[in-house]
Amino acid sequence: MYILALNCGSSSLKYKVFEEDTLKSIVSGTVEKIGLPDSFVTQKYPDGTKQRKDVSMQNHNEALGVVLTLLREASIDMNAISAVGHRVVMGGDKYASSVEVNDEVIKTLTELSPLAPLHNPSGILGIVTAQQLLPNAKQVAVFDTAFHQTMPDYAYRYAVPEAWYKDLGVRRYGFHGTSHLYVSKRAAAMLDKPADKCNLITAHIGSGASMAAIKNGKCIDTSMGMTPTAGLTMGTRTGDIDPSIVLYVMGRLGITAEQMTTFMNKQSGLLGLTQCSSDRRDVEGNKDTDDKCRLALDVEVNNVKKYIGAYMAELGGNVDAIVFTAGVGENDDWLREQYCSGLEGMGIKLDKKLNSEALARKGYGDTVISTPDSKIKIMMIPTDEELVIAEDARAIKRGTYNPDHLKMDYSFAKLNSKQR
């Protein structure tokens, strides 16, 4: 039997098939450019081989149909898929854990779509399509926001009229929760401490980026807000800005709310600062000759340091480890060094040699990259959101799921060969 993990983005679909009993990855892939004429799917196998298929896919319904065809060609029996785990970006404050999908769940997710208009509609479509194409499989929703629902009210409430909170849902939700959950469990295992005894600062830094403060295994604050636009400087998103800027620019330029949303989410961040690229590799490659690139990186590094300092304060200075993950966090040793530079007085000491070697793209798994005398350990841990999705789906299917993630028996919460 198999578990299928699905991650539906606004114009993409990622998937991975696991053996149900062993949770061994069998095949994975990504569909890109859904809705465009040059859409394609790339399927990957454990031996490293890849298969690409160029095919027009106008929506997620068609995309999932193509994926299932490729899985059949890879000898995956559709009748053997016992559960499908779906990544859902916005669960609001309705869901603090993963749930089996039913009509009421779909209704609630539809009602929450205005809070995540680029992601929830595609996620819902993925669920409905999977229900139709895989009617015998249990459908499970795994929420980006769930891990952050342990935040205290003073962390998630904004200082705005109470009616905005009660009637419009204006509050901090946080995102990347599945990734923060995974790396926090791995960090606890590496520390050889129970997860509920660990205080961590986790940094999921990719094109989108967020950080979380974790006290005794539970999230108490996170950098993203009501939407994924807030917090750190990102590839194309603003991160934190003065809210009055939005009103000022809209008035001066005469632009609509929709146009402003595009500016803040797709034309800002590193791209807005450099005017040339949102990719850190390009920006770093030009930092010594292009002052805009230098500035963009300095802004990003400064913001990461500010959040580290803020979360150190929230955790009372009692921090076991800082964890870097996601595309940049796992593979950009130069930026990791910049994030940690100058923090030695706070007990954060990076080992430059270990840091330069610890690159996920070169096969490194969970790695401590701090010096032996560093009061706070620094770690690079490759995230595995699909494994979390698969484990939650399997547990709900088997009736063994515990909505309290600290009591859930996750396989990855144990030390294994991934650690170096």
Give tens-digit pLDDT for 232-254.
999 999 999 999 999 999 999 99
* Mean pLDDT taken over the chain: 94
**Is there a contact between 163 and 151 (Cβ–Cβ < 8 Å)?**
no
* pLDDT band with cut points at 50, 70 and 90 for residue 420: very low
Residue tagged 């974790």 (tokens): 214
Judge whether residue 149 has pLDDT over 80: yes
Judge whether residue 125 has pLDDT over 80: yes
Q: What is the mean pLDDT of the segment spanning 157-183?
A: 96
Q: Percent of the chain scored above 90 by pLDDT? A: 86
C-alpha to C-alpha distance for 53 and 97, rounded to whole angstroms: 36
C-alpha to C-alpha distance for 310 and 318, rounded to whole angstroms: 12
**Is there a contact between 339 and 304 (Cβ–Cβ < 8 Å)?**
yes
DSSP, collapsed to helix, strand or coil, labels residue 161 as coil
- Ranges of H-type helices in 174-256: 177-191, 243-253
Order across the sheet with 367-368: list the strands. Answer: 218-222, 209-215, 200-205, 321-325, 377-380, 367-368
Burial grade of 152 (CB within 10 A; 0-12, 13-18, 19 or more):
exposed
Q: Which of 77, 103, 144, 351 is catalytic?
A: 144
Q: What is the mean pLDDT of the segment spanning 356-361?
A: 96
Structure tokens at 118: 């680029």
DSSP, collapsed to helix, strand or coil, labels residue 267 as coil
Q: Percent of the chain scored above 70 by pLDDT? A: 99
The per-residue pLDDT for 118 is 73
320-356 pLDDT, tens digit per residue, is 999 999 999 999 999 999 999 999 999 999 999 999 9
Residue tagged 């009509």 (tokens): 103
The per-residue pLDDT for 8 is 82
Q: What is the mean pLDDT of the segment spanning 256-279?
A: 94
The per-residue pLDDT for 177 is 96
Judge whether residue 418 has pLDDT over 70: no
Judge whether residue 96 has pLDDT over 60: yes
* pLDDT band with cut points at 50, 70 and 90 for residue 417: very low
Q: Can you count the helices (H) and strands (E) in the chain?
A: 15, 14
Other Cβ atoms within 10 Å of 158 Cβ, number:
13
* pLDDT band with cut points at 50, 70 and 90 for residue 416: low
Judge whether residue 59 has pLDDT over 90: no
Q: What angle separates helix 120-133 from helix 103-112, to the nearest 10 degrees?
A: 160
* pLDDT band with cut points at 50, 70 and 90 for residue 113: confident
Judge whether residue 363 has pLDDT over 60: yes
Residues 6+ apart with CB under 8 A from 197: 188, 216, 217
**Is residue 144 annotated as part of the catalytic site, yes or no?**
yes
Q: What is the mean pLDDT of the segment spanning 263-290?
A: 94
Judge whether residue 378 has pLDDT over 70: yes
Task: State the pairing for strand pair 377-380/321-325.
Answer: parallel
Express the helix, strand and coil content of the chain in percent, nearest 5 each: 40, 20, 40
Q: What is the pTM of this model?
A: 0.94
Burial 80-108 (b: 16+ CB within 10 A, else e): ebbbbbbbbbbbbebbbbbbebeeebbee
